[in-house]
Each structure stands twice: as structure tokens, then as C-alpha cells.
Amino acid sequence: MTAFDTNLEKLETLLARFRTDGIPNRIAGGDVAGSGGVFQTRSPVDKSLICDVARGTAADIDAAANAASEAFVTWRDMPALERKRILIRVAEGIEARAEEIALCECWDTGQTIKFMSKAALRGAENFRYFADQVVQARDGQSLQSPTLMNITSRVPIGPVGVITPWNTPFMLSTWKIAPALAAGCTVVHKPAEASPLTARLLVEIAEEAGLPAGVLNTVNGFGDDAGRALCEHPKIKAIAFVGESSTGSLITKQGADTLKRNHLELGGKNPVIVFDDADLERALDAVIFMIFSINGERCTSSSRLFVQDTIREEFEARLVARVEAIKVGHPLDPATEIGPLVSEEHFAKVTSYFDIARTDGATIAAGGEVVGSEGYFIRPTVFTNATNEMRVAREEIFGPVLTSIPFSTEEEALAMANDTDYGLTGYLWTNDLTRALRFTDKLEAGMIWVNSENVRHLPTPFGGVKSSGIGRDGGDFSFDFYMEQKHVGFATGQHKITKLGAL
Ligand code: NAD
């Protein structure tokens, strides 16, 4: 029996429970049917039905927000070391069920086991990392003035809403939920409608680890219904959102009446710039990895390649040869490098860019075709002879699709890299140190890597500028969002108080 066969067999066993029970909402530690009935979730691998999912509406969000509000004081006031122990047990629970999480994620989203087994473990790492910050999260400063001893501390903001997308949904959910819980907040999670399976596993693991009922609540459903209600709910103090830039605008509008604090992690059209003095072997590996791993469905993907004209011909030729050799296939086959796109809607969007590229005058140098009709598979695609004005260079396609654009000078590369609505990440390949310093100083992006692909270090700030978002995650930056600064001033003597009405 091959590893692929074993994975398929294990998946069958795991899916049986979802087929029987569906996925209910989880509110205040209990399973609750959706007040809007159910919707169906299907696998992009073969379009088959996975299970029914509770369709949450404003009524379910209200119940979950009330549960989170009631649980807040208990969770906030629990001794820090006890909260830390629970979060570590969540990390251990994720590790123990990492294979189950990875298999379900692959079937639900089309992501490959090659990448999802690591993503599940990264979810555990997120919990472990923020568990370690629990004790000092409340710490503040002592700021003496001539008449006062001023102290600051941080307190959790209250119940928060977490709204997540369908790309690597388990890992991304933990990236938001772990710091929120570590800060002392309670959570209502609204997972993406296209990927409900692993959000259910997460809340189960958290409760088994000892998280009190109501501290983490999961309400499934659609964005313009359950999602909107979460943004509008007066008991929810903040929304941590990951998704499209246009949805980010809606989140802001919907939260206006309740003066919601919003953290927005949005889209990207990230540049990778390759100069002719770079280590071209490593640059090629990184260019390919950063757009074709995780099905290209990653916000930090480098979807625009700017390659210096002196090396363009050879670099593009080697790129195309490698891309043509990428293995597209069943996500549970360990050899597969690219699985199907997440849904019919997304497949239609991504494949529409094949014609858009042709119409705009680009060349399809690799891919540009669908694979079979059983699921939503496409070949990894490279557009060449493109300009930065074409739609394939301006719009976030969010699939395994790369647009290659030549440049001749550093100034030209910088101008084109910055000529975009987005500003999430940038990747620079050069062995000229002074140029790297100059270029990174001027590149408009929240995160830049020089001579490296995206390698996350959890204490560093994660987030974008321009239409790519507002706010930062990671390390202590996460606590700035989930906590409020509080100041208390103690008089140290009898300082003069201006007397009014005392002539
Ligand atoms: P999306 O914006 O369509 O949906 C994201 C979530 O928002 C879903 O749960 C959805 O139900 C919900 N939603 C939709 N409309 C809503 C509304 N009116 N009110 C409240 N919630 C609403 O995004 P998607 O297609 O699921 O995910 C892909 C996008 O996410 C891409 O643009 C990608 O770049 C972005 N993303 C960004 C980051 C980052 O860190 N910057 C990370 C991952 C993904």
C-alpha cells in the first residue's frame, strides 16, 4: 500500500463523522444548529459532497457574542499561568491530531499534503508561541512625572470576532485566535464558507484542552449574513479579518456604528525583483516556490516577477522548464506539488485570466490550461512579454499564475514594483548590498525579504500597507490589537490643584 493509498483510507474514516453529523455551530460549549438551515460543502478534488454545514445568521452570531461576553470575565481573570497551560495543551492537541487536520484541510480546500502537514504543525507553533507571552502580555511601564507616579498596563479589549478566508484556513485561524486568547479575549470565529472542516476540529481540540465553554465559539455561514452580523454586534469589540481588500472595506463600513477596532490582512500583488548580480540558482528556486507552493493561493505569493533584461531570456527559459515539470495531481499523493483550486467560483476566476492575458498581448509561456474535468485543476502558468499595465500584472489572481516583466535599470524596477494598489510583501535578489539597502528603503511593502523566500519568524511584524491592510500581527504587535493600554496616575505629594469657585 502506498502512502497515497493510506492517506485516502484514513480520510474516508475521518469523513464518516462529518457525513453523519454535518458541522453544527459551536456556541457556549454546545453544538447548535444554524438558524438559517444548512449549506453544503464540496471537495474541489472531485466536486463531491463532503457534508452539510450549519448556516449561521444574525441570531446565531447574537447567541455566540453573548456567550463570548459572559465567558470574558472568567477567562480574563483566570491566573495567567493557568491560561498559559491551557494554550500549551491546545498546541499539544493540534500536534496529536496534525495528520487529521492536514487530511481534512486537503480534501476541503484542494491544498496538498506536502504543504498542509507543515501548516497544521505551524498552527500548534502559533499556540505555543503566544502561550509563552501570556504572563508578560499585561505588563506596562512606570513613567514618573514631578507630581505623579504613572503606571501603564494592558488589559484585553473584550470579546472579539475573527473572520478567516479559505486559504490555509487552519493555520490562519490559529494565527488570529491564539494571540486573542493569550491576551485574555474571548472569540467568535466565522470561518470561510468554503473551508469549514478544520475550524470545527480547532474548537474541539481547544475545548478538550480545557478552554472554558464560551471562550471560543464557532459560527459557520456566509459573509454578507453571519459575517456582517459579527461586525455589527455591539458586544464584539474588535474584528480580526483576513480576506480580500474589497471585503476589508465592507468590514470597516459595517463596524462603523459600533466603532469597531479592525485589523485587516488583505490581498497582495507582490513583486519579486531579480537583478543580474544575484545568485540566480537560488533566485529561481525562490521565485518558483513563492508562487507555485500552496497552489498559489497565498497572500504573500510573489505573483509579479521583474527580471533584469540582461538575464531575462535565460532566466525565463529555465523558469518555464521547471514550471512545466511541476506535478499537478491529487492533493493526498505525497508527490503532488499543486492540487485543485478551492472552488468552482475561484476556478472560473483564475482561468478567466488565460484569455485576459492573450487579449492584452502577453504570451502564455507555460500552462494556461485546465487539467481534466473531475475537479478544479489547472497547470501552473507563466505569462511572459507582459507589462506592468496589463490586468495580469495589476489584479490579484490568487492562483498558481506568474506574470514575468523585464526591466533594465534599478529605478525602473522600483517604479514598477511600487506601481500597484497593494503593498504586502516584496522579494529582492541582488548581491549588491548598497543597492539592497537603497531598494528596500523605497519599496512600498509591509514585509520584504532580501535573497530569501518568505521565512516567517513569529516575533516579527506581519501585515501590509496600501490596499494590503491595516495593522500588524506577530510577537507583541498582536497584543497591541487585542489589548487596550491603561494608564493610572498616583499623586506622590500635595501638588497644587487649581481651585475654581473658591475666591
Ligand atoms: P473573502 O474576503 O471573500 O472572504 C474572507 C472571509 O470574509 C470569509 O469568511 C467570508 O465569509 C467573509 N466575508 C465576506 N463578506 C463579508 C462581509 N460583508 N462581512 C463580514 N465578513 C465577510 O476572501 P477569500 O476569497 O476567502 O480569501 C482570499 C483573500 O484573502 C485574498 O485576497 C488573499 O490575498 C487574502 N489573504 C490575505 C492574507 C494577509 O495576511 N494579508 C492572508 C491570507 C489571505
Does the beta carbon of 193 sit less than 6 angstroms from any atom of ligand 1? Answer: yes
Measured by CA distance, the residue closest to atom 13 of ligand 1 is 223
Tell me the C-alpha distance between 252 and 257, whole Å. Answer: 10
**Active site residue: 95, 193, 265, 316, which one?**
265
Note if 265 is an active site residue.
Answer: yes
Measured from the Cα of 228, ligand 1's closest atom is 19
The single residue listed with the C-alpha cell 480576506 is 243
Tell me the C-alpha distance between 354 and 337, whole Å. Answer: 21
Whole-angstrom CA distances from 306 to 252, 387, 418 are 33, 10, 12
Note if 299 is an active site residue.
Answer: yes
Measured by CA distance, the residue closest to atom 34 of ligand 1 is 267
Ligand 1 center–CA 170 separation, angstroms:
14
Does the beta carbon of 166 sit less than 6 angstroms from any atom of ligand 1? Answer: yes
Please tell me whether the overall predicted TM-score, pTM, comes out greater than 0.95 for this model: yes
Q: Which amino acid is at 85?
A: R
Measured from the Cα of 246, ligand 1's closest atom is 2
80: phi then psi, degrees, rounded to nearest 5: -55, -40
Does the beta carbon of 367 sit less than 6 angstroms from any atom of ligand 1? Answer: no
Whole-angstrom CA distances from 320 to 247, 300, 384, 433 are 34, 21, 10, 29
Q: Which of 60, 163, 302, 398 to mutate to test the pocket of ligand 1 (most atoms within 8 A of CB)?
A: 163
Asked if 175 and 60 count as a contact pair (C-beta separation under 8 A), the reply is no
Does the beta carbon of 469 sit less than 6 angstroms from any atom of ligand 1? Answer: yes
Asked if 152 and 125 count as a contact pair (C-beta separation under 8 A), the reply is no
Ligand 1 center–CA 141 separation, angstroms:
36
Q: How many residues does the chain have?
A: 503
| The pLDDT value given to residue 425 | 98
Does the beta carbon of 223 sit less than 6 angstroms from any atom of ligand 1? Answer: yes
Does the beta carbon of 240 sit less than 6 angstroms from any atom of ligand 1? Answer: no
Tell me the C-alpha distance between 99 and 115, whole Å. Answer: 12
Ligand 1 center–CA 247 separation, angstroms:
6
Please say whether the dihedral angle defined by the alpha carbons of residues 249, 255, 259 and 263, taken in this order, is positive or negative: negative
Tell me the C-alpha distance between 64 and 214, whole Å. Answer: 8
| The pLDDT value given to residue 503 | 77
- For 235-291, how does the pLDDT look when each residue is reduced to its tens digit (9 = 90+)? 999 999 999 999 999 999 999 999 999 999 999 999 999 999 999 999 999 999 999
Ligand 1 center–CA 168 separation, angstroms:
12
| The pLDDT value given to residue 489 | 98
Which three cell numbers, joined as nine digits, stand for 155? 488589559
Does the beta carbon of 36 sit less than 6 angstroms from any atom of ligand 1? Answer: no
Asked if 459 and 474 count as a contact pair (C-beta separation under 8 A), the reply is yes
Does the beta carbon of 250 sit less than 6 angstroms from any atom of ligand 1? Answer: yes
Q: Which of 242, 290, 394 to mutate to test the pocket of ligand 1 (most atoms within 8 A of CB)?
A: 242
Measured by CA distance, the residue closest to atom 43 of ligand 1 is 299
What is the DSSP annotation of 286-346?
Answer: HHHHHHHGGGG--TT---EEEEETTTHHHHHHHHHHHHHT--B--TTSTT-SB---S-HHH
Does the beta carbon of 23 sit less than 6 angstroms from any atom of ligand 1? Answer: no
**Within the chain, which residues score under 50 in pLDDT?**
none
Asked if 222 and 245 count as a contact pair (C-beta separation under 8 A), the reply is no
Does the beta carbon of 227 sit less than 6 angstroms from any atom of ligand 1? Answer: yes
> Domains of the chain by range and CATH?
11-37+51-135+145-266+464-487 (3.40.605.10), 271-450 (3.40.309.10)
Ligand 1 center–CA 244 separation, angstroms:
4
Does the beta carbon of 242 sit less than 6 angstroms from any atom of ligand 1? Answer: yes
Measured from the Cα of 473, ligand 1's closest atom is 40
**Active site residue: 106, 185, 231, 299, which one?**
299
Measured by CA distance, the residue closest to atom 23 of ligand 1 is 243
